[in-house]
């Protein structure tokens, strides 16, 4: 498996970049457009963005979690590292990732059932972005903390 490690890391990072980038785009760009366009136009823009995101984001999230699980197993040797400083930071990162997954699944369910209103849409993306910033922070610092 160690021969595959760099490729799994690359896949994981690529999926993380797409996921975090999409959420950051929603929060930093699309939300700012509400000040420039009327409500009907914004609804059409958001519907078009979400229609596109629904096509690829589930695959990105699945690949992100599968590759993350494999990397966790490789780095932690199952759960052997839990209890060490590194293992505890890694476990916190995993908890944050599953919080993101929970919010993501809840948002997908709300969209499919017509329960995703503007307020929920906005807050969902802000919560996910905050969690993802925490995950990225841990990913880049847990080897040094």
Q: Which of 54-58, 70-74, 120-124 has the lowest mean pLDDT?
A: 120-124
pLDDT at site 1: 62
Per-residue pLDDT at 12 exceeds 70: yes
pTM of the model: 0.85
**What is the CB neighbour count within 10 angstroms for residue 80?**
10
Phi and psi of 82, rounded to 5°?
-65, 130
Phi and psi of 131, rounded to 5°?
-65, -40
78 touches 135 (CB < 8 A)? no
Give the pLDDT band of residue 103 (cuts 50, 70, 90): very high
pLDDT at site 100: 93
Average pLDDT of the chain is: 90
């Amino acid at each position: 498996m160690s021969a595959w490690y760099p490729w799994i890391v690359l896949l994981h990072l690529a999926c993380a970049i797409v996921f975090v980038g999409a959420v950051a785009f929603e929060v930093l760009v699309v939300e700012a457009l509400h000040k420039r366009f009327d409500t009907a136009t914004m609804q059409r823009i958001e519907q078009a963005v979400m229609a596109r995101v629904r096509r690829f984001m589930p695959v990105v999230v699945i690949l992100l979690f599968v590759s993350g699980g494999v990397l966790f197993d490789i780095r932690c040797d199952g759960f052997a590292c839990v209890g060490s400083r590194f293992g505890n930071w890694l476990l916190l990162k995993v908890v944050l990732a599953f919080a993101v997954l929970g919010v993501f699944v809840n948002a997908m369910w709300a969209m499919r059932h017509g329960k995703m209103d503007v307020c929920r849409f906005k807050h969902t993306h802000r919560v996910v972005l905050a969690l993802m910033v925490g995950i990225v922070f841990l990913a880049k610092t847990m080897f040094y903390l």
